[in-house]
């Protein structure tokens, strides 16, 4: 598969078959992804390959807590945890998360309910000492530091596509970081950037729907002329 095809067909995969993923394949994914760009080439990422059943269970519990809160906020018409939002409406929505948990427990469940059984769980950690977060002191949400971490995660997912695997990067466990730090031996200068869930997909989508370029790219100013082909 050529690069452009891979970029256009690498979807978020959350359903996997029963095949195990060999550790040599996981190593090859990381071996490829380590060439991802990062600020100052400091490569501030760390990866924990989670095999221990107790640690997997902790990740499953952390994911589900956030997931049901996410669903509750979405059902209330909110963008979950948006930096700019109605915090009162957000709190009210989150208070209904238990109802979404109960509904999920009555069915067969999806990735959230079976997370600990996923073939590969890679906990992505960032070392805050090595991130040049130039927006650190601005009076708004901090975003820039992720630019030195998430290209690595995307490279893992692209490499997985080349091996016939699929997966997804989720940040749902991040809001349970304090509860997870001790179990994974994280220090104060570490933060959880996300969790990569990988396996052999039940179905590999090849036609993805995305907004057109003209909806997000403009010339010269944010409200400038849309970028379209000539």
Write the DSSP assignment of the chain as a string of letters: --HHHHHHH--B---B-S----HHHHHHHHHHHTTS--GGG---EEEEE---HHHHHHHHHHHHHHHHHHHHHHHTT--TT-SSS-HHHHHHHHTTHHHHHHHHHHS---TGGGGGGSSEEEEEEEEGGG---TTTTSSS---GGGGGTHHHHHHHHHHHHHTT-EEEEE-TTGGGHHHHHTTTT--TTEEEEEEEEEE-BS----------GGGT-BSSSTTSPBP---
The per-residue pLDDT for range 72-96, each reduced to its tens digit, is 999 999 999 999 999 999 999 999 9
Q: Taking 90 as the threshold, does the pLDDT of residue 2 lie above it?
A: no
Domains and CATH numbers, the chain: 3-215 (3.40.109.10)
pLDDT at 95: 97
Q: Taking 90 as the threshold, does the pLDDT of residue 105 lie above it?
A: no
Lowest mean pLDDT among 100-114, 186-200, 211-225: 100-114
pLDDT at 38: 97
Q: Taking 90 as the threshold, does the pLDDT of residue 125 lie above it?
A: yes
Residues 71, 97: contact at Cβ < 8 Å?
A: yes
Q: What is the mean pLDDT of residues 174-181?
A: 95
pLDDT at 26: 98
Lowest mean pLDDT among 188-197, 204-213, 220-229: 204-213
pLDDT at 108: 86
Give me the chain's average pLDDT, please: 96
Percent of the chain with pLDDT over 90: 91
Lowest mean pLDDT among 47-61, 71-85, 199-213: 199-213
Q: What is the mean pLDDT of residues 8-28?
A: 95
């Amino acid at each position: 598969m050529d690069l452009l095809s891979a970029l256009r067909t690498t979807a978020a995969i959350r359903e996997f078959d029963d095949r195990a993923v060999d550790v040599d394949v996981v190593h090859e994914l990381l071996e490829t992804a380590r060439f991802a760009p990062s600020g100052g080439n400091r490569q501030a990422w760390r990866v924990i390959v989670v095999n221990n059943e107790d640690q997997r269970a902790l990740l499953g519990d952390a994911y589900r807590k956030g997931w049901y809160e996410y669903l509750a906020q979405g059902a209330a018409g909110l963008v979950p945890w948006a930096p700019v939002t109605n915090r009162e409406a957000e709190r009210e929505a989150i208070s209904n998360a238990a109802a979404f948990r109960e509904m999920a427990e009555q069915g067969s469940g999806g990735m959230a309910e079976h997370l600990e059984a996923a073939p590969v769980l890679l906990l992505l950690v960032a070392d805050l000492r090595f991130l040049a977060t130039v927006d650190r002191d601005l009076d708004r949400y901090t975003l820039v530091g992720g630019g030195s971490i998430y290209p690595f995660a995307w490279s893992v997912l692209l490499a997985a596509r080349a091996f016939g695997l699929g997966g997804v990067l989720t940040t749902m466990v991040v809001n349970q970081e304090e509860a997870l730090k001790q179990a994974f031996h994280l220090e104060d200068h570490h933060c959880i950037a996300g969790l990569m869930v990988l396996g052999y997909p039940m179905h590999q989508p090849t036609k993805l729907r995305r907004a057109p370029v003209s909806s997000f790219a403009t010339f010269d100013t944010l409200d400038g002329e849309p970028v379209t082909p000539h």
